[in-house]
Amino acid sequence: MLQTNQLKQALVNGKTVFGLLNSIPSPLVVEMIGYAGYDFVILDMEHVCVNPETLENMVRAAECAAMTPLIRVPNAAPENILRALDCGAQGIVIPHVRNRFDAEQAVTASRYYPLGSRGISGGRTTGFGTLDLPTYFERANAEIMVVAMIEDKEGIDNLDAILSVTGIDMVLEGAIDLSQSYGLPGQAQHPSVEAAIDKIATACFERNVQFCAIPRAANQLHAWKERGVQAYLLGDDRGVNFRALKAHLMGFK
């Protein structure tokens, strides 16, 4: 059953939160991330092959570990958003938001009337009928987050239009795709890419929209904290696991 979104509440309360991108489609891994102390996890459906039953169990694993589960859908198509939210996600992450239309489509597909046109279903989101539908609609509209990823030059050019859409709760930068969009593939810390990310953050501050930073160097976390950023995505679980496994082995060699 849909509960209070602890990530959203923490941000409202001025707390700093940390998340991880999940690229290993396993409920056990998600549960481990939660018990390690992360505040939120982004379950990836854009680049990762995961079947619907496994995805739903990954959401359950996050709930079990008191961690907020968000799902990154492949795009802003309403049918993708609908399935992600119906399995229990407390928010959706939309990649490649390039313009106002993309943002509006994401919000409309994520919210019930009068804030949107999300299709109606029961099941686990209502506690199999424990919550009556009017109560659930009100709770879902209040608790479910819509996170827009800006990772294209077109998105940078349309920042004002995107952020003017009511219902965008947070913006996440996508430096790797941005680097490609600027003709600098793979150069996430190139000055042109960093300038684009700074532009995203500044626009979010001006619009009072939460900005989620991805620290890629030791000094970046401090710099973002100095600017008042509350939300941080700390890479993905594949990289974290690989580095930990490699370090573990090297400790014995």
Pull the structure tokens for residue 181.
């969009």
Burial class (CB in 10 A: 0-12, 13-18, 19+), 250: exposed
Rounded CA-CA distance 100/192 in Å is: 24
222 is catalytic: no
3-class secondary-structure state, position 148: strand
Rounded CA-CA distance 165/60 in Å is: 31
Strand pairing class (17-22; 40-44) = parallel
Catalytic residue among 47, 190, 222, 248: 47
Under 8 Å between Cβ of 235 and 44: no
Rg (CA), the chain: 18
**Catalytically annotated residues:** 47
